[in-house]
Amino acid sequence: MTPRRKRLLLVGGILVGVATATTVATFAFRENLSYFYNPTQVTDGAVPRGRSFRVGGLVTKGSLHREPGKLEVRFVVTDLNRDVTVQYAGVLPDLFREGQGIIAHGKLDPSGVFVADEVLAKHDEKYMPPEVAQSLKHKPNAEGGGT
């Protein structure tokens, strides 16, 4: 074996070794690497108990309820399978609207309501001009509309 070949194998070996180690590690920490849980995991009890975590999903249309004269809001987050009610007192981000994806950080209270201390808006990868979005709204079956 020439020295060059040896060095080639060494570099290849380092790469394969590090890649394998990283793959194993990321699989082991899969749960922790996910930024949020979805409502199905919440209702199935697959979320940490008594600890803060994040829940993400779409805000159900027509579910936003605001206490008159207060910052407090209540809305339902869904993954189109299960729903979780979220209660939050604070400023909502610009992109927050019904039908839009959001991620809330907080705790489940005993009655199953998620009490959030932070609400972030999740944007999707779709971009379009306002006119296109308008015309898609009138054709409910058109692809690419909404989130």
Footprint on this chain of another protein (rule: CB under 8 A): 4, 7-8, 11, 14-15, 18-19, 22, 26, 30, 33-38, 56, 91-96, 100, 103, 118-134, 144
Q: Is 121 exposed, middle or buried (0-12, 13-18, 19+ CB in 10 A)?
A: middle
Q: Toward another protein, which CB reaches closer, 4 or 49?
A: 4
CB of 45 to another protein, least distance (A): 18
Residue 55 and residue 103 in contact, taking contact as beta carbons nearer than 8 Å: yes
CB of 60 to another protein, least distance (A): 18
Residue 73 and residue 30 in contact, taking contact as beta carbons nearer than 8 Å: no
Q: Toward another protein, which CB reaches closer, 28 or 95?
A: 95
CB of 111 to another protein, least distance (A): 25
Tokens in use for 35?
């930024």
Q: Toward another protein, which CB reaches closer, 18 or 89?
A: 18
Q: Of 70, 59, 132, nearest to 97 (Cα)?
A: 59
Q: Of 115, 67, 66, 64, nearest to 87 (Cα)?
A: 115
Q: Toward another protein, which CB reaches closer, 77 or 110?
A: 77
